[in-house]
């Protein structure tokens, strides 16, 4: 058996340090997304943990197949695609009669496209978890009242006037606050899921 | 008013958004936003596309709480990202050669005689223990997932806990060891069939048989629970009816956890049917011994009717039913079953564990009294089922939930109407209640209900 591959040596296969950074940022968020999605689909926490581990391993295993020379595939974009397929397939695969071995299963996880009928629903669930995880991640970066401006007007859909009055701020600062939050949210969401580019 | 002239330009807005304007300009631009709706809109669209704003409203509005990322840390086990291509080689267990030509091979000191069965979790082998001169059964964790250190450790841990349970109705465990990295259990070799096989037979179980088996299961669970071991996967397949004698054996204590790892490894979804799971298990909430009691109730239901109380082709639907629906009344399926037996099963199948029997011991006592009554109906009267104190308060919970429902619905309607009247700035956030919203409402109410019951 080959010697266990460490995280370091795995990451060294990414020649561009920006790719390594992208990977770290990605994993930091992605694991929570996988976990949340699994739990929301009715899995028990311990099982969701294991699924997360599986999906992460399958994605990290795929790093070895990334061709940095291929100009068409930017790492981040490529990674997002692999990761989406991995989670969709983990969520949709039915148990099979034959015992699937490790590498075969992982290849399937990586490469198979989820069945059409379910993919739309999964797409939505995934996107939703990405937003939730990203929002949770960035919340602490803002002052509570800045966050409140965003949350009350955008999420709860209350009018800027009411919220401004309630928080004792002017309308302009409410506009500003919510735009700053959403701009940051967009940044983090795009680390995981860049719509359109995929 | 203010002296600083503000130019409405993209680059100013961009710099403002990034906080790169000098403080004074920053402030005056903020004030400028008060009046200039053009800049408001530009600022909004530079921050994020209109679709993104809508998605944010929709996705975050769907939840009342953001996931707590701090409390959850994942430790990716990098050591298991070893060369995957080698793993296929271990899908079949390679036995050591045996000196005895009648044997398949050897695992450790044990001579392997034949394969008894294959399950989700691994292979069961019939083997000969030369040291003690007896036939034994070896249960080997499927090597495909024996490679996950987490699963392996859990297997060892659960096996140790289960081995500590010594009771006539619990399958003993002689030892735990591993072979070429695949852990295995050593158990007595018991000839017999599973309760599932018995249920599938044409002739239904008689009431005295039903009670007898139920009582033994309750006593076996009682012994395990006393050791702090929860079975987690009580189902007819895990109950063995030995060929000789009337003793019933519960097998695979605590191994459900390990098996779950296994199925996930293979498929990523919960495999098989979770028909015997408790509602708290189905919801992914914490378990306690009363979860096993619910599962036992399902087993008793299946013994009486031939099928589990909650069934469907889709595992997901089964889970929903377990959580939300009442099973079809037992006596509607089998009218020969006495009313009091149905009452016992119903009590075990209570969605709320507070409403079940308090313990396997209490259930055992009740069943014993029922058996005594069945033997001498004239001398021994039927024991009364104790009503749990909490039951009465549930009426109030119902009333409160209803009031909350009314409030929630009104709020929704109010908000929906309100949205239509939003100013132009926000008109793109228009939002209609649809099925997701209704589902959410339902979930919200369920959760409120649960909170109240706590």
Residue in chain A nearest B423 by alpha carbon: A159
Instruction: For residue B256, give the chain A residue with the closest CA.
Output: A47
Q: How confident is the model at residue B122 (pLDDT cuts 50, 70, 90)?
A: low
Asked if B426 has any chain A CB less than 8 Å from its own CB, the reply is yes
pLDDT at B280: 83
Q: Indicate the DSSP class of residue B82.
A: S
Distance from CA of B287 to the nearest CA of A (A): 11
Q: Which of B60, B264, B423 sits opposite A54 (nearest CB)?
A: B264
Q: For residue range A73-118, list pLDDT tens digits in order.
A: 477 777 777 777 777 777 765 333 223 333 333 444 444 444 454 5
Asked whether the predicted pLDDT for residue B303 surpasses 70, the reply is yes
Catalytic residue among B40, B100, B129, B233: B233
Query: Which band of pLDDT confidence, cut at 50, 70 and 90, is reported for residue B143?
Result: low
Task: List A residues 139-158 in contact with B (Cβ-Cβ < 8 A).
Answer: 139, 151, 153-157
pLDDT at B341 over 90: yes
For the segment B325-353, the average pLDDT, to the nearest whole number, is: 93
Q: Are the C-beta atoms of residues B26 and B19 closer than 8 Å to each other? A: yes
- Which is higher by pLDDT, B428 or A163? A163
Residue B130 has pLDDT above 70, yes or no: yes
Among B19, B63, B150, select the one facing A50 at the smallest CB separation.
Answer: B150
Determine the longest span between alpha carbons in chain B, in angstroms.
Answer: 103
Q: Which of the two residues, B427 and A80, has the higher pLDDT score?
A: A80
Q: Which two tokens stand for residue A24?
A: 């770290």
The confidence score (pLDDT) of residue B250 equals 92
B53 touching A, CB under 8 A?
yes
Q: Which residues of B touch A159 (CB under 8 A)?
A: 422-423, 426
Of A63 and A93, which is predicted with more confidence?
Answer: A63
Query: What pLDDT score does B2 carry?
Result: 44
How many angstroms separate the CA of residue B262 from the nearest CA in chain A? 10
Give the closest-approach CA distance of B111 to chain A in angstroms.
25
CA pair distance B330, B336, nearest whole angstrom: 10
In A, which residues are within 8 Å of B422 by CB distance? Answer: 157, 159
Instruction: Name the phi and psi angles at B307, rounded to 5.
Output: -150, 155
Is residue B437 annotated as a catalytic residue, yes or no? no
List the single best residue of B81, B282, B428 to mutate versus A (max A Cβ within 10 A): B81
Residue B150 touches partner A, C-beta closer than 8 Å? yes
Tell me how far CA of residue B9 lies from CA of A175, A182, B50, B280, in angstroms. 17, 20, 20, 57
Pick B269's closest partner by Cβ from A95, A179, A182: A95
Report the C-alpha gap between B405 and A121 in whole angstroms.
28
DSSP 8-state symbol, A64 = G
Q: Does B37 touch chain A (CB under 8 A)?
A: no
* B52 vs A contacts (CB less than 8 Å): 182, 186, 189
- The pLDDT confidence band at residue B19, using thresholds 50, 70 and 90, is confident
pLDDT of residue B59: 87
**Per-residue pLDDT reduced to its tens digit, A10-32:** 555 666 667 777 777 788 888 88
Closest Cα in chain A, distance from residue B408 (Å)? 15
Q: How far apart are CA B287 and CA B201, in angstroms?
A: 33
Answer whether A131 sits within 8 Å of B270, measured CB to CB. Answer: no
pLDDT per residue as tens digits for the range A159-177:
988 999 988 888 888 999 9
**B378 C-beta neighbours (distance < 10 Å), count:** 6
Task: Give the model's confidence band at B272: pLDDT under 50 very low, under 70 low, under 90 confident, else very high.
Answer: very low
- How buried is residue A196: exposed, middle or buried, by Cβ count under 10 Å (0-12/13-18/19+)? exposed
Which residue of A30, A44, A124, A165 is the best one to mutate when testing the B interface, meaning the one whose CB has the most B CBs within 10 A? A44
Q: What is the mean pLDDT of residues B119-129?
A: 76
pLDDT at A47 over 80: no
Instruction: Report whether pLDDT(B150) > 90.
Output: no
- Of all residues in chain B, what percent carry a pLDDT higher than 90? 21
Contact B81 A93 (CB under 8 A): no
Of A36, A103, A155, the CB nearest to B85: A103
Confidence (pLDDT) at A112: 43
Tell me the shortest Cα–Cα distance from A46 to chain B, in angstroms: 8
Predicted TM-score of the model (pTM): 0.49
User: Has residue B331 got a pLDDT over 60?
Assistant: yes
> Using CB atoms and an 8 Å cut-off, which of residues 157-216 of chain B contact chain A?
none
Q: pLDDT tens-digit profile of B207-257?
A: 999 999 999 999 999 999 998 888 888 889 889 998 877 789 998 876 655
Q: pLDDT at residue A64 above 70? A: no
Is B77 in CB contact (< 8 Å) with chain A? Answer: yes
Collect all residues of chain A within an 8 Å Cβ-Cβ radius of residue B91. 99, 101
Cα–Cα distance measured from residue B246 to residue B252, given in angstroms and rounded to the nearest whole number: 20
pLDDT of residue B106: 81
Place of tokens 């800027």: A160
Sort residue B306 into left (φ over 0), alpha (ψ -120 to 50) or beta: left
Mean pLDDT of chain B: 78
Who has greater pLDDT, A6 or B58? B58
User: Which of A13-27, A121-135, B127-141, B238-252 is predicted with the least confidence, judged by mean pLDDT?
Assistant: A13-27
Question: Which residues of B fall within a CB distance of 8 Å from A96?
Answer: 266-267
Instruction: For residues B345 and B360, give the distance between their C-alpha atoms in angstroms, rounded to a whole number.
Output: 13
What tokens does B201 get? 């037979």
Task: Answer yes or no: is pLDDT of B72 > 80.
Answer: no
The DSSP string of B298-326 is HHHHHHHHSS-SS--SSHHHHHHHHHH-P
The sign of the dihedral angle between the CA atoms of B269, B270, B271, B273 is negative
A25 touches chain B (CB under 8 A): no
Q: Is B107 helix (H, G, I), strand (E, B) or coil?
A: strand
Nearest-by-CA chain B residue for A108: B267
pLDDT band at A59 (very low <50, low <70, confident <90, very high): confident
**pLDDT interval class at B362 (50, 70, 90):** very high
* CB burial string B178-211: b at 16+ within 10 A, e below: bbeebbbbbbebbebebbeebbeeeebbebeebb
Average pLDDT over residues B294-316: 88
Contacts of B44 in chain A (CB under 8 A): 175, 179
Is this complex scored with an ipTM above 0.90? Answer: no
* pLDDT bucket at A182, cuts 50 / 70 / 90: very high
Per CB-CB distance under 8 Å, the chain B contacts of A104 are 88
CA distance B232 to chain A (A): 12
Write the DSSP assignment of B42-77 as a string of letters.
Answer: HHHHHHS-HHHHHHHHHHHHT-SS---STT------
pLDDT given for residue B401 in this prediction: 81
Which positions in chain A touch B31 (Cβ < 8 Å)?
170, 172
Inter-chain CB proximity B74 and A182 less than 8 Å: no
How far is Cα B282 from Cα A44, in angstroms, rounded to an integer? 8
Q: According to the model, what pLDDT value does residue B424 have?
A: 47
Identify the weakest region by mean pLDDT among A165-169, B322-326, B396-400: B396-400
Chain A residue with minimal CA distance to B71?
A: A32
* Residue A171 to residue A168: CA distance in whole angstroms: 10
% of chain B with per-residue pLDDT over 70: 75
């Amino acid at each position: 058996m080959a010697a266990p591959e460490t995280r370091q040596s795995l990451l060294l296969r990414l020649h561009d340090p920006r790719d390594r950074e992208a990977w770290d940022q990605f994993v930091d968020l992605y694991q929570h997304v996988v976990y949340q999605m699994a739990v929301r689909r009715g899995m028990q926490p311990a099982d969701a943990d294991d699924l997360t581990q599986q999906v992460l391993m399958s994605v990290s295993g795929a790093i070895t197949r990334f061709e940095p020379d291929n100009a068409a595939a930017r790492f981040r974009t490529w990674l997002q695609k692999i990761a989406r397929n991995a989670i969709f397939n983990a969520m949709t695969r039915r148990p099979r009669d034959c015992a699937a071995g490790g590498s075969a299963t992982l290849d399937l996880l990586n490469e198979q496209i989820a069945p059409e009928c379910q993919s739309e629903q999964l797409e939505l669930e995934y996107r939703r978890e990405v937003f939730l995880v990203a929002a949770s991640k960035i919340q602490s970066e803002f002052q509570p009242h800045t966050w409140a401006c965003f949350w009350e007007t955008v999420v709860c859909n209350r009018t800027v006037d009411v919220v401004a009055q309630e928080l004792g701020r002017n309308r302009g600062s409410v506009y500003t606050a919510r735009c700053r939050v959403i701009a940051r949210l967009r940044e983090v969401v795009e680390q995981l899921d860049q719509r359109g580019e995929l | 008013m203010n002296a600083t002239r503000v130019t409405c330009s993209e680059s100013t807005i961009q710099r403002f958004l990034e906080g790169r304007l000098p403080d004074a300009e920053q402030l005056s631009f903020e004030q400028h936003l008060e009046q200039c709706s053009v800049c408001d809109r530009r600022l909004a669209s530079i921050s994020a596309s209109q679709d993104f704003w809508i998605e944010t409203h929709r996705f975050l509005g769907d939840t009342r709480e953001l996931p707590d990322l701090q409390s959850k840390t994942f430790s990716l086990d990098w050591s298991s990202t070893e060369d995957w291509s080698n793993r296929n080689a271990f899908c079949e267990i390679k036995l050591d050669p045996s000196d005895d030509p009648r044997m398949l091979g050897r695992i450790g000191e044990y001579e392997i005689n034949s394969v008894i069965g294959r399950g989700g979790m691994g292979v069961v082998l019939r083997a000969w223990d030369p040291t003690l001169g007896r036939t034994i059964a070896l249960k080997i964790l499927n090597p495909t997932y024996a490679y996950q250190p987490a699963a392996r450790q859990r297997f060892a841990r659960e096996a140790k806990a289960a081995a500590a349970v010594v009771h006539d109705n619990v399958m003993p465990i002689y030892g735990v060891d591993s072979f070429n990295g695949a852990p295995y259990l050593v158990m007595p070799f018991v000839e017999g069939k599973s309760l599932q096989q018995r249920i599938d037979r044409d002739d239904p179980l008689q009431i005295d048989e039903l009670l007898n088996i139920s009582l033994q299961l309750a006593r076996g669970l009682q012994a395990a629970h006393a050791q702090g071991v929860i079975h987690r996967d009580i189902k007819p397949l895990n109950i063995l009816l030995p060929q000789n004698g009337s003793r019933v054996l519960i097998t695979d204590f605590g191994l459900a956890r390990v098996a779950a790892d296994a199925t996930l490894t293979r498929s990523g979804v919960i495999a098989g049917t979770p028909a015997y799971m408790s509602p708290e298990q189905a919801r992914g909430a914490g378990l306690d011994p009363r979860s096993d009691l619910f599962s036992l109730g399902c087993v008793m239901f299946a013994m009486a009717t031939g099928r589990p109380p909650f069934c469907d082709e889709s595992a997901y639907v089964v889970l929903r039913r377990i959580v939300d629906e009442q099973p079809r009344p037992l006596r509607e399926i089998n009218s020969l079953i006495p009313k009091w037996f149905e009452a016992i099963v119903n009590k075990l199948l209570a969605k709320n564990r507070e409403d079940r029997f308090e313990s396997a011991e209490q259930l055992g006592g009740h069943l014993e009294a029922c058996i005594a009554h069945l033997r001498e109906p004239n001398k021994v009267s039927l024991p009364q089922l104790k009503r749990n104190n909490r039951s009465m308060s549930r009426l109030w919970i119902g009333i409160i939930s209803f009031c909350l429902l009314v409030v929630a619905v009104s709020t929704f309607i109010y908000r929906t109407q309100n949205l239509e009247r939003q100013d132009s700035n926000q008109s793109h956030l228009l939002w209609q209640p649809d099925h997701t919203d209704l589902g959410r409402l339902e979930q919200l109410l369920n959760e409120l209900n649960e909170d109240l019951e706590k």
